[in-house]
A and B are shown apart, each in its own frame.
Chain A
Amino acid sequence: MDFDLSKPQRLLKDSARDLLARECKLDRVRTLAETDTAHDDKLWQTICDQGWMGLVLPEEHGGLGLGLVELAAVAEEMGRACLPGPFLTTLTTAALIERAGSEAHRAKYLEPIAAGELLATVAFLEESASWDLDAVKLSTKRWDRNFHISGRKLFVPDADVAALLICVVREGDNLALLPVERAADGLSIKPMPTMDGTRKLYEVTFEGVTVPEADALGADGDARGALREALEVGCLALCAEMVGGMQWVLDTTIEYVKSRQQFGRAIGSFQAVQHQCADMLLMTESARSATYYAAWAVTEGDPAASVAVSIAKAYCSDAYREVGNRGIQLHGGLGFTWEHDLQLYYKRSKSSETLFGDATFHRERIARIVVDGDTVPRARAAQSEDLAWQVQPVATDSAIEVSANPSDPS
């Protein structure tokens, strides 16, 4: 067992850090956050020239065919740089096309995505703002060999720059994944101005938008399964971004408390300050352990992978917010200003917290397996028998009777 990045993985991460330090400086982030789309063609092309957009896509479709650990390594650096724009969104869409699409879909979309020529997004959330697949209510009807969509999607990231939208709709008990072009008749978008300027959100309205039946993704496969997996890929990249963000806040705070003087000495010599810093480190490192483990587990197709993703997202959601809180606290009034870059990360932590489900959402996902299941998956690999942690029945000689059967996994 070797729980550390390999040399090539480390090189990839270091080169990502160097490149972003040059090409995505914080004043650039700040400017982009105040534009309508947070997207910049030149920056985008620089990123895509590195092959990052196709990092985990198959080689036959112009990708690099690497695993999610490599993706996490790069995404961590994106989070450290607070990279604005549609990377995460396009990545998630590509993961969905890869899993749900036919050979024709993959051929049509993945190569341009990998090359950075096609930006894409997934329209999933609705009024309920729930990431539960069962929360998708927008339904579709079919006639004349077309799907017809009328209704609204909310909180759709980067919809203004994405030329392609995969709209998740309900058809009876099933979900359908319908590719819609930005220019389609009946489609309109409206910004939903939000706290984090680096990730723009939109309301997308469909008024009689039609999609040919033949275009639907996952038509003869498992659309739900593909969607769940694709959201997990996005979620994982997001967790890695969050780890990078925490690292930036920690580094920046440590540097500050070493130099800022009060009462004639560095504030970093006060224990009340030191202990906050120690906790920030612990949270950052724990988030990192959870995230890289999940990346590895998903890549290996490990049976505990889904739980691992939820562990990572639940932990990162709470930890990034808390690291941000303490980082700002330790900067005093300066931390509360618009001028200090901490605010960019603080807002990013909030948008990241809810994207792909917040801690509460993911804890419930964990509970469905860990509390309701017969066996508990363990965060260690090897053979599947190792993943099962048998929940032993309780001895019956105790003071209270079994009051009900364990609930069914729902």
Chain B
Amino acid sequence: MDLNLNPNEQRFRDEFRAWLETNVPEEWKGNTNAEDREDYIEYLRDWQRKLYQGGWAGISWPKEYGGRGATLMEQAIFQEELARARAPQLIGTIGLSLVGPTIIAMGTEEQKSRYLSKILSGEEIWCQGFSEPNAGSDLAALGTKAVRDGEVFIVNGQKIWTSFAQLADWCLLLVRTDAEAPKHKGITCLLANMRSEGVAVRPLRQMSGDSGFNEVFFSNVSVPTTQVLGEINRGWTTAITALMNERANLGTGVLVIFERNLEALIARSRTVERNGRPASEDPIVRQKLAQAYLELEILRLNTNRALTSLSKTGTPGPEGSTLKLYWSEMNQRTQQTAQEILGPYGQLKDFDNGMWEYSYLRARGNTIEAGTSEIQRNIVAERVLGLPKSY
């Protein structure tokens, strides 16, 4: 056991840190308000392109597809350094954390060279078309139909809760290709062009107020058979690979967001009052802040342990569910702590740019997205602990 960075990791860290010093634009550093800018999305695309051109995108992806060919540990260092430098967030997280790794694992040579580098350069944004109105936790019950017609599939159906669909160029789309087969055996995964004729996106407003997710309708959309990721009717395997990657990779991304959030909360606790003195001097507040801090540190440690084991085994397994379970519930507890410390200020839309109001509401979705906490516990119980199936 050695938690020091090894010489390679250290070199990587130093190089990236130096690069960030000269490349993160001054005006954006620590700007919590950046989302309000009209050119925000364009800005984020530019930022992604800059990272890519500097050789700092797809840290653990193979070199031949535009990645850096580095280790998962370096990928984690990359995330930490971004946070440290207060760099803008990465656009296209679906492509980076979920679609890319799945294409690397299951894609044909043509698919890899066609899609991967454009994810890294920010040129193409992806969304994940899995959930449907009648297939959420029971994802394999999905009904969006694809019928083969020579060299194309004709897709009809509806997806829902599709994050980033309003921006996306491509969609990792799960469809039913064999209605007769048992539900897990008739699914196919397609790489679908969101600009195709017959694709309609209708934004849904999230309770946090922003339009993060959407409904996506497919009517007679044709997708070439070369766009199958994995094998026809074996799309469930592709879906699981994608979900495992999502759970394994999201953890390192959220860590840096949570860190900044807690940092701001601690600073805030010194300026809001409780019982006539700064909240930071109140014993109960101190207990809660310390608890939030220790839980966050343990998230980092759990993540580092998982990365170590992932580096050794190569493929993310069901243990990712424990990480997802941990960070989603942790963030809800921490946001509640923030609300308790800030009182009615925490609910204001123009106090700290509304970050507490937003963070509290957004956290509510954490235990639903990327698989609900109940589903994660089912997975841990059945696939990690080996308990008999419950249904």
Measured CA separation A238–B348 after assembly (Å): 45
Within 8 Å by CB of A296, from B1, B374, B376, B386, lies B1
Within 8 Å by CB of B380, from A266, A281, A382, lies A281
Q: In A20-52, which residues have CB < 8 Å from any B CB?
A: none
Within 8 Å by CB of B3, from A293, A403, A407, lies A293
B385 adjacent to chain A (CB < 8 Å): yes
Residue among B270, B351, B380 with max Cβ neighbours from chain A (10 Å):
B270
B2 adjacent to chain A (CB < 8 Å): yes
A328 adjacent to chain B (CB < 8 Å): no
A395 adjacent to chain B (CB < 8 Å): yes
Measured CA separation A273–B269 after assembly (Å): 39
| Stretch of A135-143, A215-223, A372-380 that contacts chain B | A372-380
Instruction: Tell me the interface secondary structure of chain B in the complex.
Output: helix
Interface pair A289/B301, CB less than 8 Å apart: yes
Interface pair A282/B322, CB less than 8 Å apart: yes
Interface pair B298/A315, CB less than 8 Å apart: yes
B302 adjacent to chain A (CB < 8 Å): yes
A254 adjacent to chain B (CB < 8 Å): yes
B73 adjacent to chain A (CB < 8 Å): yes
Q: From known contacts A3-B301, A269-B388, A290-B301, infer whether A402 and B259 are also in contact, taking CB-CB under 8 Å.
A: no
Q: From known contacts A1-B5, A290-B298, infer whether A404 and B390 are also in contact, taking CB-CB under 8 Å.
A: no
Interface pair B298/A278, CB less than 8 Å apart: no
Q: From known contacts A277-B387, A282-B326, A399-B348, infer whether A360 and B287 are also in contact, taking CB-CB under 8 Å.
A: yes
Within 8 Å by CB of B290, from A5, A265, A279, A314, lies A314
Query: Ordered nearest first, which 9 A-B pairs have the shortest CB separation?
Result: A274-B381, A363-B290, A278-B380, A289-B301, A367-B286, A366-B290, A278-B377, A268-B387, A269-B388
Measured CA separation A277–B300 after assembly (Å): 23
A-side contacts of B351, CB under 8 Å: 398-399
Residues of chain A whose beta carbon lies under 8 Å from any beta carbon of chain B: 1-6, 9, 69, 254, 257-258, 265-266, 268-271, 273-275, 277-279, 281-282, 285-286, 289-290, 292-293, 296-297, 300, 308, 310-311, 314-315, 360, 363-364, 366-367, 370-372, 376, 378-382, 389-395, 398-404, 406-407
Interface pair A364/B283, CB less than 8 Å apart: yes
Interface pair A278/B325, CB less than 8 Å apart: yes
Q: From known contacts A268-B388, A391-B267, A394-B268, infer whether A406 and B286 are also in contact, taking CB-CB under 8 Å.
A: no
Residues of chain B whose beta carbon lies under 8 Å from any beta carbon of chain A: 1-6, 9-10, 13, 30, 73, 80, 259, 263-264, 266-273, 277-278, 280-281, 283, 286-287, 289-291, 293-294, 297-298, 300-302, 304-305, 307-309, 312, 322, 325-326, 345, 348, 350-352, 374, 376-378, 380-382, 384-390
A-side contacts of B302, CB under 8 Å: 285-286, 289
A-side contacts of B348, CB under 8 Å: 399
Within 8 Å by CB of A289, from B269, B305, B387, lies B305
A-side contacts of B294, CB under 8 Å: 290, 310-311, 314-315, 363, 366
Interface pair B1/A2, CB less than 8 Å apart: yes
Measured CA separation A371–B341 after assembly (Å): 13
B-side contacts of A363, CB under 8 Å: 286-287, 290-291, 294
Measured CA separation A9–B275 after assembly (Å): 51
Within 8 Å by CB of A69, from B1, B266, B271, lies B1
A-side contacts of B326, CB under 8 Å: 282, 286
Interface pair A279/B293, CB less than 8 Å apart: no
Within 8 Å by CB of B390, from A269, A293, A296, A310, lies A269
18 CB contacts below 8 A, A to B, read A3-B307, A269-B390, A274-B381, A274-B382, A281-B380, A290-B294, A290-B298, A297-B3, A300-B4, A311-B294, A314-B290, A367-B286, A376-B266, A379-B301, A389-B259, A392-B264, A406-B280, A407-B281
Measured CA separation A3–B302 after assembly (Å): 9
A-side contacts of B281, CB under 8 Å: 404, 407
Within 8 Å by CB of B263, from A69, A279, A392, lies A392
Interface pair B300/A380, CB less than 8 Å apart: yes
Q: From known contacts A363-B286, A370-B266, infer whether A3 and B298 are also in contact, taking CB-CB under 8 Å.
A: no
A-side contacts of B385, CB under 8 Å: 254, 274, 277-278, 281
Measured CA separation A300–B350 after assembly (Å): 45
A-side contacts of B378, CB under 8 Å: 271, 274-275, 278
Measured CA separation A289–B263 after assembly (Å): 22
Within 8 Å by CB of B5, from A367, A381, A395, lies A381
Interface pair B5/A3, CB less than 8 Å apart: no
Interface pair A367/B287, CB less than 8 Å apart: yes
Q: Output the least CB separation between B141 and chain A (Å).
A: 19
Q: Output the least CB separation between B84 and chain A (Å).
A: 8
A-side contacts of B345, CB under 8 Å: 399-400
